[in-house]
Amino acid sequence: MQLEEFRTKLAATAQPVVVDIWAPWCGPCRTLSPRLDEVGGEFAGQVEVWKINADEEPALVRELRVMGIPTLLFYRHGTEIARRTGVQSVGALREMFTAALANDTALPAAGGMSDMTRLLRLASGIALLVLAAFTGWPWLLLGAAGVILFSAVYDRCPIWNALMDRLHRAPAESDAASRS
């Protein structure tokens, strides 16, 4: 598909569109796909979900300036309103789909911390590791350094995100089971 064909198809669509740029060999893409299918099903008839295989459409992916996969592009009235790269939780996807339906100018900012906060946490963790090296590697300093370093990157950890998504879904699933 050429960029002009893509834009024409977007312009002809009255509903918001979520474009999933993925590849079959991409592990995070395989993690995101069922979540996107689930939320896309909940918003069927309200938001369209298009999937573009990055291996089959490399020129289009380049022209859309997609640098990593999976990437979700959100369009309203043919205009890109937001993009998210990486695996998203079901809750985050629902929030983004809901925001895409609203008449706001853009989706809410991606979750996570600012770059400065991330940098400060990384620097603090490294400083504690250096201090631990000079004081005989005490477990308390090593543990604190590990916790601070993890706090700088937890939101980008696919294992952590999958675990949190599972924990957030567990109460809802048990509530549904108790109602039936």
* CA-wise closest residue to 158 among 41, 49, 35: 35
For 142-152, give one letter per residue: b (16+ CB within 10 A) or e: eebbeebbebb
Measured from the Cβ of residue 54, the count of other Cβ atoms closer than 10 Å reads 21
Q: Which amino acid is at 18?
A: V
User: Which residues lie closer than 8 Å to 164 by C-beta, 6 or more apart?
Assistant: 89
Give the CA distances from residue 91 to residues 6, 111, 168, in Å, rounded to whole numbers and listed in that order.
28, 12, 9
Q: Catalytic amino acids?
A: 26, 29
